């Protein structure tokens, strides 16, 4: 085998090593240059304000760069759709946002009235499209095949999928982008309906935990409300009502999920900080809630892979930040 060639030393380079050199880049000497004008330092924002501006900027950039001029949002009368609509109005202008409320047989009176009040406060257009005729058609169509079975989440999700179809049909007709309204807590737990409330082109708050959704709504109201002739955009009734999907009588999110103030810290510890079951229990979290979060987060990866993109505001968002197999048989607890 031939031996490697020895490196040829360059005597000029060796002499220059360690010797400081001055390289002229203009006719001015360094001492002759005028100092640059110092610009005012950027204002330091609080964490909630910073997230809100990130949502507005990210939403505006994505929609404009994608070639859309208007956005369409399903208004449920709940806090998630209220925040999404408010961010969209701030990002695009009130004239470029349309809200659609789609009441069903299980919708509360407030779901329509609160949505209309929100739209009035924001100055956006609001359409009311009742889905009961389509809901009846679906249940009648499937009745022969569902006979003898107990109604469950399948029948509940028919309503969400009808709403998704309504929004996507309007989008298809007018060329407006649909903004989905699910938050990070729901996406973590799979508390969303494929081809229903997950249907859309951009997910504004998909990386925003539910507890932060409340903080953002309160900040937006406090920051921009109270001026003469300027009502806070998000009605207090929306902020104060218990979270509910309203797909069955008297339904509440807490029927299925732990309370959000208990859920969000566990999701953060597991998804963003990689803590194990044992470590989270030692931190003081409820063991049953920890097991539920780990189980639900892991088995709903397939749903999240089908969700639209959204703004990243946490250290680790679902998607490119958290690369896991869609399905696997490993169970840590």
Residues 53-78: tens digit of each pLDDT: 999 999 999 999 999 999 999 999 99
Q: What is d(CA 209, CA 293) in angstroms, rounded to the nearest whole number?
A: 14
Identify the band that residue 331 occupies on the pLDDT scale cut at 50, 70 and 90.
confident
Residue 207 clears pLDDT 80, i.e. is over it: yes
How confident is the model at residue 30, as a pLDDT?
Answer: 60
pLDDT > 90: what percent of the chain?
71
Q: Provide the 3-class DSSP secondary structure of residue 165.
A: helix
Task: State the average pLDDT over residues 188-201.
Answer: 96
How confident is the model at residue 317, as a pLDDT?
Answer: 96
3-state helix, strand, coil in the chain (%, to 5): 50, 5, 45
How confident is the model at residue 320, as a pLDDT?
Answer: 85
Domains annotated for the chain, with CATH where assigned, are 47-256+300-304 (3.40.50.620)
Identify the band that residue 226 occupies on the pLDDT scale cut at 50, 70 and 90.
very low
How confident is the model at residue 109, as a pLDDT?
Answer: 83
How confident is the model at residue 69, as a pLDDT?
Answer: 93
Q: What is d(CA 104, CA 285) in angstroms, rounded to the nearest whole number?
A: 37
**Of 12-16, 89-93, 187-191, 288-292, which range is least confident?**
12-16
Identify the band that residue 223 occupies on the pLDDT scale cut at 50, 70 and 90.
confident
Task: State the average pLDDT over residues 67-91.
Answer: 97
Q: What is d(CA 272, CA 266) in angstroms, rounded to the nearest whole number?
A: 10
pTM: 0.84
Q: Which two tokens stand for residue 317?
A: 């968002």
How confident is the model at residue 324, as a pLDDT?
Answer: 84
CA end-to-end span of the chain:
57
Task: State the average pLDDT over residues 209-223.
Answer: 96
Condensed to tens digits (0 to 9), the pLDDT of residues 137-162 reads 999 999 999 999 999 999 999 999 99
Identify the band that residue 225 occupies on the pLDDT scale cut at 50, 70 and 90.
low
Which of 152, 108, 83, 117 lies closest to 245, judged by CA? 108
Q: What is d(CA 167, CA 148) in angstroms, rounded to the nearest whole number?
A: 33
How confident is the model at residue 218, as a pLDDT?
Answer: 96
């Amino acid at each position: 085998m031939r031996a490697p060639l020895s490196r040829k030393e360059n005597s000029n380079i060796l002499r220059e090593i360690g010797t400081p050199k001055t390289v002229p880049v203009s006719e001015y000497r360094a001492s002759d240059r005028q100092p640059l004008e110092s610009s005012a330092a950027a204002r330091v924002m609080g964490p909630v304000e910073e997230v809100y501006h990130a949502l507005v900027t990210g939403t505006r950039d994505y929609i404009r760069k994608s070639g859309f001029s208007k956005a369409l949002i399903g208004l449920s009368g709940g806090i998630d759709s209220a925040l999404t609509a408010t961010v969209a109005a701030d990002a695009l202008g009130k004239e470029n946002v349309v809200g659609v409320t789609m009441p069903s047989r299980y919708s509360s009176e407030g779901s329509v009235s609160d949505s209309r009040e929100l739209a009035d406060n924001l100055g956006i257009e609001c359409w009311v499209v009742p889905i009961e005729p389509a809901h009846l058609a679906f249940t009648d169509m499937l009745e022969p095949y569902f006979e003898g079975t107990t109604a469950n989440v399948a029948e509940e999700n028919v309503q969400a999928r009808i709403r998704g179809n309504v929004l996507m049909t309007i989008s298809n007709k007018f060329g407006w982008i649909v903004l989905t309204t699910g938050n990070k807590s729901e996406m973590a737990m799979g508390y969303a309906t494929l081809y229903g409330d997950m249907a859309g082109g951009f997910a504004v708050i998909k990386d925003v935990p539910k507890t932060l959704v409340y903080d953002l709504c309160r900040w937006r109201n406090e920051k921009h409300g109270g001026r003469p002739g300027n009502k806070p955009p998000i009605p207090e009734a929306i902020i104060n009502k218990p979270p509910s999907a309203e797909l069955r009588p008297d339904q509440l999110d807490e029927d299925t999920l732990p309370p959000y103030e208990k859920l969000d810290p566990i999701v953060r510890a597991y998804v963003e900080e990689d803590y194990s079951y044992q470590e989270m229990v030692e931190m003081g979290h409820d063991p049953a809630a920890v097991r539920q979060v780990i189980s639900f987060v892991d088995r709903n990866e397939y749903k999240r892979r089908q969700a639209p993109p959204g703004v990243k505001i946490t250290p680790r968002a679902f998607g490119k930040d958290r690369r896991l197999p869609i399905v696997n048989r490993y169970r840590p607890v």
